Amino acid sequence: PQTRHWQALGHAHHLPPFSDYRQLKEHGPRIITRASGVYLWDSEGNCILDGMAGLWCVNVGYGREELVEAASRQMRELPYYNLFFQTAHPPAVELARAIAELAPPGMHHVFFTGSGSEANDTVLRLVRHYWAIKGQPRKNVVIGRWNGYHGSTVAGASLGGMKAMHGQGDLPIPGIEHIDQPYWFGEGGGLDPEAFGIRVADQLERKILEIGEERVAAFIAEPIQGAGGVIIPPDSYWPRIREILRKYDILFAADEVVCGFGRTGEWFGSQYYGLEPDLMAIAKGLTSGYLPMGGVVVRDRIVEVLEEGGEFYHGFTYSGHPVAAALALENIRLLREEGIVERVRTRTGPYLQRRWRELAEHPLVGEVRGLGMLAALELVKDKKTRERFPADLAAGMRCREHCFANGLVMRAVGDTMIVAPPLVISEAEIDELIAKARHCLDLTASEMPG
Ligand code: PLP
């Protein structure tokens, strides 16, 4: 009865994000009431293994008392103060230092925001401001990638390349262009992965020349596209992209909102791929999702130019929020002192990948891929030809619903199934995740024609 009460309230008053409002009218939302470790409980008492760490963010797992303590201590001491007009408070500057210690060399400053979307809005404004200070205000176009995800604000959704999002609200805004993603399984067109990686990377050069190099401010990309379907680029991809960016003096903004804080087994995805970003957008794992917070980590040579520019007219009421910052500091301490990132790199990441690869034998699976605590598989009608199921069969959605009903959160992006569990997941819990995923693939297969 309580479930129905909450569902009725939701229906009467709540417009939830990224939800199909037609479907919600028919069946109410699932109500999640509590969580511990890698598990969630719904209002009916069902226990569900959270294979997505919330939205790729609960890196240290649920129920960490240390984080609760850190936040409540800060709340008593100084619950809020702003950072506008040359003000600071200890948690913000301590956190900025902690992030700088973990970031790639030469990145020592952080601009705080309230979310990943705000971080990417900040990236857009920062790169344009940077070139304007350098006397090149026309160098203001930013190139992103089709199917990339950089958030839901007008700038974030524009930088991203989700066509469904662009279709709602007249996006992208002017001054933003896109190139293809390095999605070999879906778009490789018969090339081997390395040749394909070069081909899609070379699109960046063509796009720069088409726009005019004097017009292009920056390229923005996730080291591994998350929401687009855990797109692991071929090895040839990033080195070629780096060459092109250097050749034309174009800034590189790495969106580390998903990859940051250990998901790949390195602190940042940029470190895994040996990238040298000029800016890094961060959020999610920064606080393990316990409180909202994001930021942009900025390279020293950019900061030097910004210093010449005087006031940057940009910032948020909650930039560097002291409670979120104190919690983030404690979160980073846990990640470090418990060796969580190291464990993902050396033990549990390889273990998940090994066990995940076993699913490749399933008749419904056309490809498996992954890195660290990120993994995806592609549902196909025909393993050999990679033919997909007709869209109206909604194979991915069915699989996702079977998972939920059987105690596993697995995300569906079309017919790509994704997991990104808390980084603290144990080997036994990984075994459980794989067993449940396999069972739900079987259930999905039994409903598919042929
Ligand atoms: N960038 C990436 C790569 C993301 O995956 C997301 C969220 O999923 C965002 C940015 C936006 O972050 P937020 O939802 O905190 O605004």
Q: Is 257 in the pocket of ligand 1 (CB under 6 A)?
A: yes
Q: Is 160 in the pocket of ligand 1 (CB under 6 A)?
A: no
Sorted by sequence, the CB contacts under 8 Å of residue 317 that are 6+ apart come out as 82
Give pLDDT, residue 346.
98
Cα distance between residue 413 and residue 158, in whole Å: 19
Instruction: Give per-residue pLDDT as tens, 42-53.
Output: 999 999 999 999
Q: If 0-12 CB within 10 Å is exposed, 13-18 middle and 19+ buried, where does residue 86 land?
A: exposed
CA distances from 138 to 120, 124, 132, 278, 339 (A): 20, 14, 8, 19, 46
Read off the pTM.
0.98
Cα distance between residue 251 and residue 216, in whole Å: 9
Nearest in space to 263 (alpha carbons), one of 282, 285, 280, 283: 285
Cα distance between residue 50 and residue 344, in whole Å: 17
Cα distance between residue 155 and residue 176, in whole Å: 9
Instruction: Give per-residue pLDDT as tens, 55-69.
Output: 999 999 999 999 999
Instruction: Kindly report the protein residue whose alpha carbon is nearest to atom 12 of ligand 1.
Output: 116
Give pLDDT, residue 199.
98
Give pLDDT, residue 25.
79
Atom of ligand 1 nearest to the CA of 222: 3
Q: Is 229 in the pocket of ligand 1 (CB under 6 A)?
A: no
Out of 52, 56, 117, 231, give the residue to mutate to test ligand 1, the one with the largest number of ligand atoms within 8 Å of its CB. 117
Q: Is 55 in the pocket of ligand 1 (CB under 6 A)?
A: yes
Give pLDDT, residue 129.
98
Q: Is 115 in the pocket of ligand 1 (CB under 6 A)?
A: yes
Which residue is listed with tokens 């040579």?
A: 301
Segments of the chain scoring below 50 in pLDDT: none
Q: Is 226 in the pocket of ligand 1 (CB under 6 A)?
A: yes
Q: For residue 297, report the phi and psi dihedrals to the nearest 5 degrees.
A: -90, 130
Question: Looking at this predicted complex, what is its ipTM?
Answer: 0.99
Query: 3-class DSSP state for residue 232?
Result: coil
Give pLDDT, residue 340.
98
Residue 384 Cα to ligand 1 midpoint, Å, equals 35
Give pLDDT, residue 27.
80
